[in-house]
Structures are given as C-alpha cells and as structure tokens.
Amino acid sequence: MSDETLVLGLGVSGCAASEALIARDYKISVVDDFPSEAVKNWAGKLSLQLLPSPAVDKWDNFIQGFSQILVSPGIPDIHPVFSAASRAGVTIIDEGDLAAEWDQRPRCAVTGTNGKTTVVTLVTEMLNHSGINAVAAGNLEKPVVAAIEDGAAECFVIEASSFRLAHSFRFDASPAAWLNFAPDHLDHHSNLEAYLQAKKRVWEGVKDSSDAIANLSDQNVEQHSPEGATGFGIDGSYCYVRDFDLIFAEESILDIRDLKRRMPHDLENAQASLLIASKFGADIDSCVEILKSFEGLEHRVCLVDQRNEVSFVNDSKSTTPHSTISALRGLPGAVLIAGGKNKGVDLTLLKEAKPHAVIAIGEAAQEILKIFEHECSVEVANTMDEAVEKAYKKSLPAGTVLLSPACASFDWYESYVERGLDFIRAVSQLEIP
C-alpha cells in the first residue's frame, strides 16, 4: 500500500483539504462522483488528475493503492467507499482529523439537529469579547484545515454536523455540546440510529466528563450523556431558566426579559453558549453582554415586516419538523408556510405545531396537505408569491405569517438563503388594498 491519500468529494471542504495536503507535500488523488466545471478547472490549476469515480463493484480494487481516504461531509453513508474501505482495512478520515494532527491549539465543538450555527456564533463572540481570539469553523463555509492557517487564533469553535462526526476517525474537541436531537438527514444516513450514533461522537474527545455539555431537557441527549456531564435546560441543572431568571452555577445572572431573543429555543441556545464559553475561559459578564445584544442570525425566526398589523417572519433555515415546531411554540396561532424537499423524515410530526392554517409548497406540498386536511385550513401554493398572498389572507386580522418549511430548499431553490430572500421579496411586493 502506498503512502497516498484519496480525497473523495470536492466541495468546499474537500477542496480545502486537498490544498492543505498539497501544501504539506502529501501525495494525493482526487475523485468526485459528479464534478462540476468549476471543480474540473480547480483540479487543472493545481495540476491534479481528477480521477473518474469507479463503478459500485470496482471500489475494492480502486482503493488498494491508498493509505487513507478523506471523505467530504456530503458523502452519504450508503456510498460504496465505506464498505470497500472496511474490507480493505483502509482508514477513513475527515478534514478535521488532519487539522487536529497538524495543529494542537484548543478547540470546542457544538452539535445538534438545530441551533448549531447560532451557538457557534454566540460562543465565538463571547470568547472574543473576553479577549480570547476565537475562530469559528466547520460548517460555516470555513473548513477546519483552512481555519488553522490563522496564526493569530488562540482557539477554534467547531460546528460539528452529523456528516462530519460520522466520517471522523476520532473527533477531538473539549468542551463539546449536544444541543438536541430529532429525525433529520435520513436521506444521508443509513437510518435514524446511524444519525444518533454520529451525534454521540461529539463527546469522543472531551478531556473530562464535565466537558460534555448536554441539554437535559432533550430525552435522547440526556439518555446518551456520560455520567458527570454538565447539564442545562432543566431545573437544578448547571444552567437553566427559572421564571424570568437565567440561573448559572446557582446564581441569577440576567433577566431574560432583557434579551432580544427569548423564544424557547433561543433560551436553550443561550444556556449552551454560556456553558461552552465559560469552560473555554470567557468571563460571565462578557457572555451576558453578548446575549443581551444578540439579535439572531438571518433566516432564523427573523421578523421581515409588519403589513396591516400582520407580522411576516422568515425561518427559512428550518429544514426539520423539530425546528418548525420550535418556531411555532414561540409564535402560537401563526399561519405556516411549509414544504420543500423532504429529507426522508416523518412530516406528520408537524401536527404537534397546531398552526392556525397552512400553506403547502414545493415537492412535499401534497404530503403536507394530507397531514393537515383534518387539522386546520390548508391550501397548496405553486409559487412563493402565491404562498405569501394566501397566508396573508388567512392571517387577518393582526396575525402572523411564518415561513418555516420543515424541508430542504433544493426543489425550488439552490439554498435556504435563496428561499428566505424570495420570501422577503414576496412580502415586499405583496399588494394590500
């Protein structure tokens, strides 16, 4: 077996890892199952031969010449590379494994079905506000191998998706938080158990069990948390909400009425962020200041406009029933615009949300129509403009229109961002008599 690395998948992560390997004089080969023209041009500029992806039954022979295979996060569990590597005894790694080998600066991590990006953002801001130079990496369009090139960084805050965790040889971060768990990405993972096992790996590299930060209000997280984990979310845990007080280490540190974001999921994100940042060296006063000033991230339960006493809220980032239910808990009685490309999850869970009415969109429209046909008023819309118009009429008087799709965007749009921007445009162009 030669000392050569195969890089499979040439998205942002795969390309960054390839460039980092080349810069360190590694011998590599690259494969992409469906290479775009941009990928072909990128390979050409680096004088890399872009190898054709072998047929399903040819992977065993194909990987014989490699010592390790770096698999990009977007490669699904059912890809033949995994079974072939297992049979051949070839190591599967993630780009984060390379970063951990090359750079020993501290890192913490956040996983969960929802809320990862928000918590990573909060923790990074808390640390920086405390005078600690922290850099966010992972799923934020900045791979870890790219982040470690920042020589001024004192530590890294890693957004750990299930894709990243599943493909890692050994995930290494401490402290590490698991925010919540709900069915998701079942079009990527072989089954729900595989998704769960991937999430559990976030605690694989904690230095002490107390560095495992767990949302104890989530049954799945609580059941799989190690003994001695630092909990949040329930009375008596290290961090929780009691009435209007945010309790941290048995002391009230702020009145939640002072927060700009205080829906139930916002408060859970705040608790997790406090615990991670404080364990990483942030001072509590700085953390509280960041929480009080935080206005949220785009496309995550954001007020777009108020027209004729109707509020329009953009939650395009919501791609699971779990996150849509969370949004509706904070906006009871809203008219829900939902649908898109189902990621293999059970959308009937949306019944728990009890919206005032539903406008169904995208590939999953008929599925959503059947779910709500005996629950509330429900209609199908064929465009975002039509969805906004119908939702507005059903929200009168003085109601709320909530775009929280519970599905991926890849039927009508290239991304959840494009979907959210189209919603904002449709709201701005809505004709109101």
Query: Which one-letter DSSP state was computed for residue 226?
Result: P
Q: Which residue bears the tokens 């027209």?
A: 307
Tokens 């919501």 found at: 318
Bigger pLDDT: 190 or 325? 325
**What was the pLDDT predicted at 406?**
95
Tens-place pLDDT, residues 216-239: 999 999 999 999 999 999 999 999
Provide the edge-to-edge strand list for the sheet that holds 5-8.
50-51, 28-31, 5-8, 68-71, 91-93
Kindly state the tokens that stand for 218: 């989530």
Answer whether 0.75 is exceeded by the pTM.
yes
Q: What digits encode the pLDDT tens for the residues 79-122?
A: 999 999 999 999 999 999 999 999 999 999 999 988 999 999 99
d(C-alpha 329, C-alpha 431), whole Å: 29
Q: What is the pLDDT of residue 42?
A: 95
Question: Hey, what are 369's tokens?
Answer: 């129509």
Q: Can you list the pairs that 77-80 forms with residues at least 24 positions away whose Cβ atoms lie under 8 Å?
A: 77/166, 77/188, 77/189, 77/190, 77/194, 78/190, 79/8, 80/56
- What is the pLDDT at residue 25? 95
Rounded to whole angstroms, the Cα distance separating 47 from 56 reads: 27
pLDDT confidence bin for 183, thresholds 50/70/90: low
| DSSP symbol at 258 | G
Q: Are 139 and 172 in contact (CB under 8 A)?
A: no
| 205 confidence band (pLDDT: 50, 70, 90) | very high
Q: In the chain, what are the domains?
A: 5-93 (3.40.50.720), 97-293 (3.40.1190.10), 302-428 (3.90.190.20)
359/339 Cα distance (integer angstroms): 8
Pick left, alpha or beta for residue 188 (phi over 0 → left; psi -120 to 50 → alpha; otherwise beta).
alpha
pLDDT digit string, tens, across residues 147-179: 999 999 999 999 998 888 988 999 999 999 999
Taking alpha carbons only, the member of 295, 326, 346 closest to residue 404 is 326
